[in-house]
Amino acid sequence: MGFEVDVEDIRKAAAKLGAGPPPRIAAGGAPNVGDTARAGGFAGDYDVWLTTRQEDLQAAQQQVESLVESINAAAKAYRAGDDGARDAFLKALDSGLGRIDR
Amino acid sequence: MTGIFDRIHDLAGQVEKGSTTELDDRARACRTAEEAVKDAKALIESVRVELGEGWQGGAGEAALNSLDDFKKNRDAQAEDLEESAKSFEVIRDALAKAQSEARDKRERADALRTKLDRVWQDLSHGKGNIVFAWGQDKIFKAEALVLLADLQLAVTTYDAVLLAEGLKLRTKTGQVWELAGSEKRNPAEIAAILLRELPALAALVAKNPELRLALLAGDWDKIMQDPDVAQVIYDYFGFKYDENGDFYTTGEHSVQSYLGWHDLYDKLEPVIGAKLDHTSDGGDNMEFTDPKTGKQYRLELWKGSYGFGGAYGGEVGFYTREPGDDHPEGYFSAAQGDDQIKVTQQIYDKTTGEVYFTNDGQGADGTDKKHFWNLAIRTDSDVNPDALGQRATIEVRDTDMRDRIYAEMTRYAAAHPDQNLTVHLGTDDPPTLSYDWRK
Closest residue in B to A10 (Cα–Cα) = B50
Half-sphere exposure of B139 (CA within 13 A, CB side): 10
Identify from B38, B47, B61 which residue to disrupt to test chain A contact, counting A C-beta atoms within 10 A and taking the largest count.
B47
Q: Is the pLDDT score of B37 beyond 70?
A: yes
Residues with Cβ within 8 Å of B54's Cβ and at least 6 positions away in sequence, in order, are A3, A6, A7, A9, A10, A90, B60
At B238, the pLDDT band (50, 70, 90 cuts) reads low
Determine which of A24-28, A76-80, B431-435 has the lowest per-residue pLDDT on average: A76-80
A window 27-86, beta carbon within 8 A of B:
27-28, 31-49, 51-57, 59-60, 63-64, 67, 71
Residue B57 DSSP class: S
Ramachandran category for residue B308: left, alpha or beta (phi over 0 → left; psi -120 to 50 → alpha): left
Please state, rounded to an integer, the average pLDDT across all residues of chain A: 86
Using DSSP's 3-state secondary structure scheme, residue B431 falls into: strand
pLDDT at B239: 66
DSSP string covering B157-169: HHHHHHHHHHHHH
Helix axes A85-98, A39-77, angle to 10 degrees: 160
pLDDT at A84: 77
At B369, the pLDDT band (50, 70, 90 cuts) reads confident
Q: Is the pLDDT score of B254 beyond 70?
A: no
Backbone angles phi, psi at B246, to 5 degrees: 55, 50
- The Cα B90–Cα B102 span in angstroms is 18
Measure Cα distances from B183 to A58, B267, B415 in Å.
Answer: 16, 12, 32
CA nearest to A86, candidates A95, A74, A100 = A74
Q: Is the pLDDT score of B355 beyond 90?
A: yes
pLDDT at B55: 66
Q: Strand B388-395 vs strand B373-379: parallel, antiparallel, or unpaired? A: unpaired
Share of chain A above pLDDT 90, in %: 35
Q: What is the pLDDT of residues B173-197, one digit of tens each?
A: 898 888 888 778 777 777 777 776 6
Q: Is the pLDDT score of B121 beyond 60?
A: yes
Q: What integer is the mean pLDDT of B149-160?
A: 94
| Residue A78, min C-alpha distance to chain B (Å) | 14
Inter-chain touch B184–A28, beta carbons under 8 Å: no
pLDDT at B39: 94
Q: Is the pLDDT score of B86 beyond 70?
A: yes
Please state, rounded to an integer, the average pLDDT across all residues of chain B: 85
Q: Is the pLDDT score of B312 beyond 60?
A: yes
> What ipTM describes this predicted complex?
0.91
Using a cut of 0.90, tell me whether the model's pTM lies above it: no
Determine which of A56-70, B174-188, B332-346 has the lowest per-residue pLDDT on average: B174-188
pLDDT at B392: 96
Beta bridge partners of B277: B303
Determine which of B11-20, B206-215, B235-244, B337-346 has the lowest per-residue pLDDT on average: B235-244
- The Cα A13–Cα A64 span in angstroms is 12
- The Cα B246–Cα B242 span in angstroms is 6
pLDDT at B403: 97
Q: Is the pLDDT score of B346 beyond 90?
A: yes
pLDDT at B1: 45
Check residues A84 and B271 and name the one with the higher pLDDT: A84
Q: Is the pLDDT score of B130 beyond 70?
A: yes
Residue type, B153: L
Q: What is the pLDDT of residues B262-311, one digit of tens each?
A: 445 555 666 666 788 888 766 789 999 999 999 999 999 989 987 667 77
Share of chain B above pLDDT 90, in %: 49
Identify which of B21-30, B61-70, B208-217, B296-305 has the greatest average pLDDT. B21-30
The distance between the two most distant Cα atoms of chain A, rounded to a whole number of Å, is 72
Residues with Cβ within 8 Å of B134's Cβ and at least 6 positions away in sequence, in order, are none
CA nearest to A64, candidates B236, B71, B165, B281 = B71
CB atoms within 10 A of CB A87: 12
Q: Is the pLDDT score of B321 beyond 80?
A: yes
Inter-chain touch B202–A37, beta carbons under 8 Å: yes
Q: Is the pLDDT score of B224 beyond 80?
A: no
CB B370 within 8 A of CB B245: no
At B102, the pLDDT band (50, 70, 90 cuts) reads very high
Q: What integer is the mean pLDDT of B307-333?
A: 80
Q: What integer is the mean pLDDT of B143-149?
A: 94
- The Cα B418–Cα B416 span in angstroms is 5
- The Cα B404–Cα B391 span in angstroms is 19
B window 31-90, beta carbon within 8 A of A:
32-33, 36-37, 39-40, 43-44, 46-47, 49-51, 53-55, 58-63, 66-67, 69-70, 73-74, 77, 80-81, 84, 88
DSSP string covering B297-335: EEEEEEEEEETTTTEEEEEEEEEEE-TT--SPTT-BEEP
Contacts of B173 in chain A (CB under 8 A): 52
- The Cα B11–Cα B153 span in angstroms is 11
Contacts of A22 in chain B (CB under 8 A): 36, 40
Task: Using the CB atoms, write b or e for B134-169: b if 16+ within 10 Å.
Answer: eebeeebeebbeebbeebeebbeebbebbbebbbbb
Inter-chain touch B47–A31, beta carbons under 8 Å: no
pLDDT at B258: 47
Inter-chain touch A45–B167, beta carbons under 8 Å: yes
DSSP H stretches of helix in A1-102: 3-19, 39-77, 85-98
DSSP string covering B105-168: HHHHHHHHHHHHHHHHHHHHTT-S-HHHHHHHHHHHHHHHHHHHHHHHHHHHHHHHHHHHHHHH
Describe chain B by its helix, strand, coil percentages, rounded to 5: 55, 20, 25
Half-sphere exposure of B149 (CA within 13 A, CB side): 6
CA nearest to B206, candidates A101, A40, A82 = A40
